[in-house]
Structure 1
């Protein structure tokens, strides 16, 4: 019987600085076909600990996965000491991700706040490469300031083909674009002209951002069951044994992190 919580060693292929506290780690991973958009892995360092990190992108042909890692604690501090060629012990993938079948032939709207762009990046890249799978894709991204904008080169590439609103809390964004919270720009999206039964919304970001952004979409008439969110919570075992991520009777690591908002709106931590 295999051990479901046994980390396995994988080689780091590349490390890229994204911001002052966030680095992109590309790790060799031969079983990419088992990964879905929005899932996470447990990164494990012997004698240090573990941390759950969302898979931000993956490549089946080349056999790698990527993680956007923020330096915020003991484990991530140690991960930042690793370099290209070093070994990253990992286990997973875990959790329920985004099923892109739910978005097929729909008007897909993706709204993110800050590092919430990371777990949804693989889905955006997939639709960018396969635009025929949806009727349209519209993007609404919010960041604190210009220095915190993630994946800037890809963001510029995406907006060449898809409508995008990029806003910062203060200062100037790319090309001096919008200033303000994501919630303020929901009514300005082009999808407001579509049949809302054909609109699917994905929201990823801090809890309050997801809550109030979902409310704005509901105000416009988007059905609750057409809204999806991802709970970026602190996991522990990731296999539903420790109860660390449980909200009432829901184990986020097993039933999430992706939830339909018709269920998620009642998951009060």
Structure 2
């Protein structure tokens, strides 16, 4: 019987420095044909450990997947020592992704904070390349400062075709954009003047950012069932066995990481 915890070797295609602590890995990935937007995989190193990393982009045809890896601990520190041509063990994909959301003909609003842009990047690419799938795409990104802005070239391209607000906590953005938290700019989104019957809101970022951003959408009248959150949480086994990611009766690795706000609002860690 196959060992579901056994990772398989994957060759690293390229490594690109994004910020001082974040790097973009592109890895050969035959499993890309099974990946859905918003899922994650378990990356590991023998005798070091294993960590869950969201798939930030992938190609089923070319069989590769990309991961934004942040220097936050022992495992990621060691992974960031790897280079193109090296082998990294992986398993997955895991979790329920954004495919739960019916975006067809909808006005899609995506709000991210910091590295929260990574889990939704592939979905943004898909919608941007297939604009006929949705009624509209509106984007609201928040970063700490200009140096922390991720996927800057892609953001510049996305905003040529889609309404976008880019805000930084301090300093200036790409072209002197807004300063402040994303919650301050929710009332300035286009959707506010167009009603909420056909809207789907996706929020990804640190826990407090998601909490207060979701509340901001509630305050302007967006129904809870139209709001979706993606939890960034320490998944250990990824198959609902260890309980590390459990919140009450919910296993984030199995039941998420993407949750509807009708459920996520009451998931108190």
TM-score interval (norm. to shorter): over 0.9
* Contact residue 240 and residue 254 of structure 2 kept, 8 A: yes
Shift of 1:200: 0.5
Is 1:15–2:25 an aligned residue pair?
Answer: no
Partner residue of 1:77? Answer: 77
- Deviation of 1:101 (Å): 5.3
Equivalent position of 2:65 in the other structure? 65
Q: Does the alignment pair 1:226 with 2:226?
A: yes
Q: Bigger shift: 29-38 or 131-140? A: 29-38
Aligned-partner SS, 1:31: helix
Q: In the alignment, which residue of structure 1 is the partner of 2:239?
A: 239
Determine if the alignment matches structure 1 residue 177 to structure 2 residue 177. Answer: yes
Q: Residue 140 of structure 1 corresponds to which residue in structure 2?
A: 140
Distance 1:260 1:34 in 2: 22
Q: What is the match of residue 117 of structure 1? A: 117
Q: Which residue of 1 aligns with 2:91?
A: 91
Q: Unaligned 5+ residue runs, structure 2? A: none
**TM-score when normalising by structure 2:** 0.99
For 2:237 and 2:264, the matched residues in 1 are separated by 22
| Aligned partners of 2:31 and 2:93 also within 8 Å | no
1:120-269 correspondence to structure 2 within 5 Å: 120-269=120-269
Deviation at 1:195, TM superposition (A): 2.7
Q: What is the distance in 2 between the residues matched to 1:91 and 1:31?
A: 9
Cα deviation, residue 31, structure 1: 2.4
Query: Alpha-carbon deviation of 1:100?
Result: 6.6
Name the SS of the counterpart of 2:50 in structure 1.
strand
Cα distance between partner residues in 2 of 1:137 and 1:88 = 35
Aligned-pair CA distance for 1:191: 1.0
Q: Give the drift of 1:104.
A: 1.0
Counterpart CA distance in 1 for 2:77 and 2:208 is 27
Distance in structure 2 (CA, Å) of the matches to 1:9 and 1:193: 50
How many residues align structurally? 269
Shift of 1:23: 0.3
The answer as to whether partners of 2:32 and 2:59 remain within 8 angstroms in 1 is yes
The alpha-carbon deviation at position 12 of structure 1 amounts to 0.2
Structure 1-normalised TM-score? 0.99
Aligned counterparts of 1:101 and 1:169: Cα–Cα separation in 2: 30
Report how far residue 2 of structure 1 moved. Answer: 1.6
Q: CA deviation at 1:251?
A: 0.5
Q: Secondary structure at the match of 2:175?
A: helix
Rounded to whole Å, the distance in 1 between the matches of 2:14 and 2:59 is: 14
Give unpaired runs (5+ residues) of structure 1: none
CA offsets per residue over residues 173-210 of structure 1, 9 Å max, x none? 11001000000000000111223011110000011110
How much does 1:213 deviate? 0.5
Q: Which runs of 4+ in 1 moved over 6 A?
A: none
Say what the alpha-carbon RMSD is for the aligned residues: 0.8
Name the SS for the 1:50 alignment partner.
strand
Deviation at residue 62 of structure 1 after TM alignment: 1.2
Shift of 1:240: 0.5
